[in-house]
Amino acid sequence: MPTNRYLGVSSTGQPTEVVPAITSSGAASAGQIIALNAAGALDATMLPSGVGATAVTAAAGNLIQYCGKGMSTTELLFIPSTFTVVVA
């Protein structure tokens, strides 16, 4: 799917078409307008360090204690069958 574009102003004052960033190149991408990726979400490279989805895979019958980033308390999760828990 093509990315929407917007009009910007060049250094000479002329209108110019600008394509928003879909992924980040770090500091080189500072100040750019961003766009959603093909999945309709922000790319993980756009998120600050330490922010992102956390996934835990556990076997059936396990009780796990989880304390995610920014959580002041822990959560107990009972896993009745094998599956992946994703905390976003």
Residues 18 and 35 in one domain: yes
Q: What is the pTM of this model?
A: 0.48
Q: Is pLDDT at 28 greater than 60 in this prediction?
A: yes
pLDDT of residue 55: 62
pLDDT at 83 over 70: no
Q: How much is the average pLDDT of 62-76?
A: 64
Judge whether residue 57 has pLDDT over 60.
yes
Phi-psi region for residue 25, left (φ > 0), alpha (ψ -120 to 50) or beta? alpha
At residue 6, the 3 state secondary structure works out as strand
- What residue numbers bound the domain in which 38 lies? 1-49
| pLDDT band at residue 45 using 50, 70 and 90 as cut-offs | confident
- pLDDT on residue 52: 66
Please indicate, yes or no, whether residues 30 and 15 belong to a single structural domain of this protein.
yes
- Does 59 lie in the same domain as 38? no
Q: What is the pLDDT of residues 8-23, one digit of tens each?
A: 898 899 999 988 989 8
